[in-house]
């Protein structure tokens, strides 16, 4: 998709025109481990750095909190913050290793300005990229339930996830999210349950077994 006006189709019927820009600066944020949705965003989100996104409308022409797929990320941040949990520091390492963390990037979202800690910068409409940290720990595991929304290519964690639990937790003790079916552009979609893999080929069972490592369960919608 090149710079200029483009016609976007959503669902089977709705189309609309947007102005597509070239590389756009985006502000990357990482959901801190053990955060909860009732906390202030300055507490729950750790600013990472800037990167770039491509093939997106000018954020000035996008409604607030509209989300886009992470496949539109071109450049990731060149540096990542040190994340602290229970007094222990973790550094970013995409290959993992004890005392490090990786990041699962979830979505691009339109926002009004950005913040670094409690310092706010009101620059007007812009893009954020949000994800969550997965810690590599000796005694704990990060567990997430990620859903591929209708029309999306990637997966996003459901509300209240990810969580951190003790290794060897019984899988029966997980609070498995219940995801409602939905209607999009007049078409009905059924949530297809939870799987062990992103391809959604191996069904997950929550009747026996233990969580011994960082684990993500994946879910998707299928058209009825």
Q: Which pLDDT belongs to residue 18? A: 55
C-beta of residue 217 within 8 angstroms of C-beta of residue 145: yes
Q: What pLDDT is recorded for position 21?
A: 58
The share of the chain scoring above pLDDT 90, in percent, equals 78
Which residue is associated with the tokens 């990542």? 80
Average pLDDT in the chain: 91
pLDDT tens digits, one per residue of 166-198: 999 999 999 999 999 999 999 999 999 999 999
What is the mean pLDDT of the segment spanning 98-124?
Answer: 95
Which uninterrupted H or E stretch holds 41? Answer: helix 41-44
List, by residue range, all CATH 2.60.40.4270 domains of the chain: 139-224
- For residue 61, how many other CB atoms are within 10 A of its CB? 13
pLDDT score, position 219: 98
The structure tokens listed for 59 are 């954020």
Residue 22 confidence (pLDDT):
75
pLDDT of residue 37: 83
- For residue 32, what is the DSSP state? P
pTM: 0.80
Bigger pLDDT: 15 vs 191: 191
Which SS3 state, helix, strand or coil, does residue 147 take?
Answer: strand
8 A C-beta contact, residue 44 and residue 219: no
Residue 10 confidence (pLDDT) above 90: no
Of 32-36, 38-42, 193-197, give the range with the top mean pLDDT. 193-197
Domain 139-224 has CATH 2.60.40.4270: yes
């Amino acid at each position: 998709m090149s710079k200029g006006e483009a016609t976007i189709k959503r669902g089977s019927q709705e189309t609309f025109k947007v102005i597509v820009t070239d590389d756009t600066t985006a502000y990357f944020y990482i959901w801190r481990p053990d955060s909860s949705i009732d906390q202030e965003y300055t507490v729950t989100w750790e600013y990472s750095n800037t990167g770039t996104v491509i093939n997106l409308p000018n954020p000035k022409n996008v409604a607030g909190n509209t989300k886009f797929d992470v496949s539109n990320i071109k450049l990731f941040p060149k540096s990542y913050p040190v994340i602290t949990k229970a007094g222990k520091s973790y550094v970013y390492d995409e290959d993992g290793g004890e005392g490090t963390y990786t990041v699962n990037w979830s979505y691009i979202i339109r926002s009004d300005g950005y913040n670094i800690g409690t310092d706010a910068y009101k620059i007007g409409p812009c893009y954020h990229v949000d994800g969550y940290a997965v810690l590599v720990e000796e005694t704990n595991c990060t567990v997430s339930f990620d859903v591929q929304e209708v029309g999306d290519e990637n997966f996003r964690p459901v509300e209240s996830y990810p969580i951190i639990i003790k290794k060897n937790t019984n899988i029966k003790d997980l609070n498995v999210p219940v995801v409602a079916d939905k209607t999009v552009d007049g078409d009905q979609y059924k949530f297809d349950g939870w799987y062990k893999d992103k391809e959604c080929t191996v069904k997950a069972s929550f009747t026996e077994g233990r969580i011994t490592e960082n684990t993500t369960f994946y879910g998707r919608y299928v058209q009825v």
